[in-house]
Chains A and B, each alone.
Chain A
């Protein structure tokens, strides 16, 4: 697949990874969904709120699903990894994400400009330093787990796999290289 497709896919992965932040920002600021007007019986605060949130959560889940499928389409499998150590990283990555969600909740509509500036800076940094690991909490609901993997060569990688409770030294085959530090295991 061409380099352009790969860049687009990595961009989608990053957006989907941080989409929860956007969700919380939208929720706290009670933005309306563009071009969507609810029928009168659904326009009450509670009903409208629930419908909007369900729709947005569904969109987030859908977007994360698309990012996963796009990865499987664009990145070829066949890579191998010989792990000497394995460690789940949800426990270290989740607090970072929760922190981002809390920040998003604290950003009011009057802070929209600052929010956009922060986002642009993060995007530039993402493009310059490709050492991102695309942790996406929604993928956890798809059954994926994230591990930090160390090899005999002393390198550290992120492995995304549906296999749970992995421990110790293991060999992995048929991995998809998302970037030089993040690998996605084919479904077994």
Chain B
């Protein structure tokens, strides 16, 4: 079933093609090769032949995908797309069994009153309007087993409600919770001036159950870590707390908590990584 998702909060879907002979014409629309894939990390960039992926748990599958399966299972519950609605198409998607391919449609793909000269046989002038250019290149692919692949997070974000939970920024309350930790000596930090990058890192730190900032053992590990990389500028006060007085201090502490400081095995130099991932996730 080939469907269109419309813009708007309700995000209604319409049938584009249901007949087998029409779907067969879309044979060029195929899932991407999933050999070069990486766990999504907003601090990293992607090569042209790579894809990001995220693994969805049961709740996330229900929240993000259930709506896309609904209407192909019962297309009678929605209507065929009407020409008036073409301007509202947000995405086109193809359901093949449990797999779904998505292509985001933006205004540059909408064809309004364009004239073409066709050269098959005698040249003829064709006028197209109320059309959508369909490149057949997917922007996202759901494999039906809980894994969602995509190229560009900001492109596919409107299509999957709840996906921002993966990479969400910390709320004001969470920023407050973080800075109120007894392990930090905080002074002069304005919560509203903490940028998106640091807010995302705070959310990740708070969500990491292995990083218990109230645990004295973990606190000592972090003090020792900061001592080994004192060039990073993460300072400790007399009571053993990490000092956060400026935005720079905050950045340094967050890098420490993310384990970004390391020693190069090749050169012996102290380095700071732009992003980190566990080895089994990085080579998935």
On A, residues with C-beta under 8 Å from B are 76-82, 151-153, 155, 157, 171, 175, 177, 180, 183
Given contacts A78-B23, A80-B1, 5 further A-B contacts (CB under 8 A): A76-B22, A77-B20, A81-B74, A151-B77, A175-B76
Q: A residues within 8 A CB of B99?
A: none
On whether the beta carbons of B74 and A78 are closer than 8 Å, the reply is no
Closest-by-CB residue of B relative to A183 is B76
Q: How far is the CA of A180 from the CA of B1 in the complex (A)?
A: 17
On whether the beta carbons of B77 and A79 are closer than 8 Å, the reply is no
On whether the beta carbons of B73 and A171 are closer than 8 Å, the reply is yes
Closest-by-CB residue of B relative to A172 is B76
Answer yes or no: B125 CB below 8 A from chain A CBs.
no
On whether the beta carbons of B75 and A180 are closer than 8 Å, the reply is no
Q: How far is the CA of A81 from the CA of B80 in the complex (A)?
A: 14
Q: B residues within 8 A CB of A78?
A: 1, 17-20, 22-23
Give B80 Cβ to nearest chain A Cβ, in Å: 7
In this complex, the member of B17, B75, B76 whose beta carbon has the largest number of chain A beta carbons within 10 angstroms is B76
Closest-by-CB residue of B relative to A75 is B19
Q: How far is the CA of A76 from the CA of B18 in the complex (A)?
A: 8
Give B60 Cβ to nearest chain A Cβ, in Å: 22
On B, residues with C-beta under 8 Å from A are 1, 15, 17-23, 72-77, 79-80
A82-B73 CB under 8 A given contacts A177-B80, A180-B79: yes
On whether the beta carbons of A81 and B23 are closer than 8 Å, the reply is no
Shortest 3 CB-CB contacts between residues of A and residues of B:
A78-B18, A76-B19, A82-B74
On whether the beta carbons of B15 and A79 are closer than 8 Å, the reply is yes
In this complex, the member of B1, B17, B72, B74 whose beta carbon has the largest number of chain A beta carbons within 10 angstroms is B74
Closest-by-CB residue of A relative to B17 is A78
Q: How far is the CA of A155 from the CA of B15 in the complex (A)?
A: 16
On whether the beta carbons of A79 and B75 are closer than 8 Å, the reply is yes
Closest-by-CB residue of B relative to A157 is B76
Q: B residues within 8 A CB of A180?
A: 79-80
Q: A residues within 8 A CB of B76?
A: 79-81, 151, 155, 157, 175, 177, 183
A155-B18 CB under 8 A given contacts A80-B1, A80-B72: no
Q: How far is the CA of A79 from the CA of B15 in the complex (A)?
A: 9
**12 contacting pairs across A/B (C-beta < 8 A):** A76-B22, A77-B19, A79-B76, A80-B1, A81-B76, A82-B73, A82-B77, A151-B74, A153-B77, A171-B73, A177-B18, A183-B76
Closest-by-CB residue of B relative to A76 is B19
Give B76 Cβ to nearest chain A Cβ, in Å: 4
Q: How far is the CA of A175 from the CA of B72 in the complex (A)?
A: 12
Q: How far is the CA of A80 from the CA of B2 in the complex (A)?
A: 12
